[in-house]
């Protein structure tokens, strides 16, 4: 029984940490204690999340899961879309901005984990706010929960894929989780290594071109580098860090994982319920063995670079070709099984 509980806690811990980056039995008191530290968006209207999450995650059930167009959005019961929002709320009393926005698709139909990064400088229509940069959907909505809801509505209305749940990661969580795990392996270019040495705040300044185990501060700065290339490369770095964290978790000891979670769960806010997290955790080791594929929106030839007036000044933005972007997301997440019929929820 003890062995089963330890296995359960490990599954829960690995799952949550994997979902938090960029991140199973109900009777486990330790898992329950950790999950109680999360900030849950209780009482939120989560009508956009249809059906019970993860109810079709196993083999044959996934094959029989329904897929269709729900409220004008592509939806598949065998695919759970969770939006990760990395918030740079490092200033006191600052709601922050959604510095990174990544959709994690747990695809049990095709047995894959899919990461879709959304560029923060996308110029889109934000419901209730108007045309602006995508990251303004969070910062202008008036609060953490309202900010996450605003980003979900904006992504759904512009790009057409149903988003089931969201997870908000405060700025401080990033460094703590990675340091508790003993760092993450990242392959650096010479230019990236130079910047990390100079600006990460880590006292070690011996990085060169090659593969190194980065500390939390180093990996955090690496994920935010803007001086090299463009924001496309920046989102690619974020996806690399996410993938490296998954690899690190697979080999981490239970005490290491527990310590990381205990130090950081209070920095997490989600509209997932505890029961949903436990349900997903029961299959987390299976999910973590799925191959990880990556995409970004907009892709090449799916946008134009323009200057628009925002707040009385000119701002450089990416104006997406919405038709191409919608097609890109649909093909990436749903592959050859793009829903076409109107979805009827039997529940």
Half-sphere exposure of 4 (CA within 13 A, CB side): 7
- Is the pLDDT assigned to residue 50 strictly greater than 70? no
Mean pLDDT lowest for which of 42-56, 117-131, 196-210? 42-56
Q: Distance of CA 341 to CAs 38, 55, 325, 334, 344, Å?
A: 37, 21, 21, 14, 9
Cα first-last separation, the chain: 35
Topology of the domain covering 2-334: Aminopeptidase (3.40.630)
pTM: predicted TM-score of the whole model, two decimal places: 0.81
Strands (E), the chain: 39-40, 67-70, 73-76, 79-87, 98-107, 112-118, 123-126, 130-133, 165-169, 184-188, 210-214, 268-270, 292-297, 303-310, 313-320
Cα separation, 235 vs 332, in Å, equals 17
Please tell me the predicted confidence (pLDDT) of residue 286: 83
Mean pLDDT lowest for which of 80-94, 102-116, 244-258? 80-94
* 269/239: higher pLDDT: 269
Q: Spell out the domain ranges in the chain.
A: 2-334
Q: Exposed, middle or buried by CB within 10 Å (0-12, 13-18, 19+), for 333?
A: buried
- Is the pLDDT assigned to residue 28 strictly greater than 90? no
At what angle are helices 171-180 and 216-224 packed, to 10 degrees?
Answer: 130
Cα separation, 341 vs 96, in Å, equals 39
Please tell me the predicted confidence (pLDDT) of residue 9: 54
Mean pLDDT of the chain: 82
Cα separation, 61 vs 148, in Å, equals 31
Mean pLDDT lowest for which of 39-43, 52-56, 132-136, 309-313? 52-56
33-42, 267-276, 320-329: range with highest mean pLDDT: 320-329
Mean pLDDT lowest for which of 100-114, 279-293, 324-338? 279-293
| Neighbouring-strand partners of residue 341 | none
- Is the pLDDT assigned to residue 330 strictly greater than 70? yes
Dihedral angle computed from the Cα positions of residues 35, 114, 146 and 314, in that order, rounded to the nearest 10 degrees: 140
* 6/121: higher pLDDT: 121
* Mean pLDDT along residues 14-42: 61
- Is the pLDDT assigned to residue 125 strictly greater than 70? yes
- Is the pLDDT assigned to residue 175 strictly greater than 70? yes
Tell me if 92 sits within 8 A of 107, measured CB to CB.
Answer: no
Cα separation, 8 vs 79, in Å, equals 23
- Is the pLDDT assigned to residue 51 strictly greater than 50? no
Q: What is the pLDDT of residues 218-251, one digit of tens each?
A: 998 998 888 887 777 887 888 888 888 878 877 7
Percent of the chain with pLDDT over 90: 43
How is 230-289 classified by DSSP, letter by letter? Answer: -HHHHHHHHHHHHHHHHHHHHT--HHHHHHHHHHHGGGEEESS-HHHHHHHHTTHHHHHT
* Residue 89 binned pLDDT confidence (cut-offs 50, 70, 90): low
* 224/134: higher pLDDT: 134
Mean pLDDT lowest for which of 165-179, 211-225, 313-327? 165-179
* 297/56: higher pLDDT: 297
* 49/315: higher pLDDT: 315
């Amino acid at each position: 029984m003890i062995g089963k509980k330890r296995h359960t806690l490990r599954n829960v811990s690995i799952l949550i940490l994997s979902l938090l980056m960029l991140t199973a039995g109900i009777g486990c008191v330790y898992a329950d204690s950790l999950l109680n530290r999360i900030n849950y968006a209780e009482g939120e209207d989560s009508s956009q999340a249809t059906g019970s999450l993860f109810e079709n995650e196993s083999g044959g059930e996934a094959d029989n899961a329904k897929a269709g167009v729900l409220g004008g959005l592509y939806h598949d019961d065998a695919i759970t879309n969770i939006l990760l929002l990395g918030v740079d709320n490092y200033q006191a009393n600052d709601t922050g901005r959604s510095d990174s926005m990544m959709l994690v698709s747990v695809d049990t139909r095709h047995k894959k984990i899919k990461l879709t990064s959304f560029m923060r400088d996308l110029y889109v229509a934000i419901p209730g706010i108007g045309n602006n940069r995508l990251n303004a959907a969070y910062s202008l909505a008036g609060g953490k929960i309202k900010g996450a809801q605003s980003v979900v509505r904006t992504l759904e209305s512009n790009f057409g894929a149903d988003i089931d749940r969201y997870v908000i990661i405060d700025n401080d969580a990033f460094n703590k989780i990675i340091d508790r795990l003993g760092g993450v392996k990242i392959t650096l270019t010479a230019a990236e290594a130079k910047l990390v040495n100079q600006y990460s705040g880590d006292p070690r300044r011996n990085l060169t071109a090659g593969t190194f185990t980065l500390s939390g501060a180093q990996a955090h700065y690496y994920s935010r580098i803007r001086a090299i290339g463009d924001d496309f490369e920046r989102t690619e770095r974020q996806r690399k860090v996410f993938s490296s964290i998954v690899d690190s978790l697979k080999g981490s000891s239970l005490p290491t994982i527990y310590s990381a979670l205990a130090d950081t769960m209070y920095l997490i806010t989600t509209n997932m319920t505890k029961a949903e997290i436990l349900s997903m955790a029961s299959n987390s080791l299976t999910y973590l063995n799925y191959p990880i594929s990556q995409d970004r929106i907009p892709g090449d030839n799916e946008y134009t670079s323009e200057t628009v007036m925002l707040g009385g000044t000119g701002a450089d933005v990416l104006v997406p070709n919405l038709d191409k972007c919608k097609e890109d997301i649909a093909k990436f997440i749903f592959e050859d099984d793009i829903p076409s019929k109107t979805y009827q929820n039997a529940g």
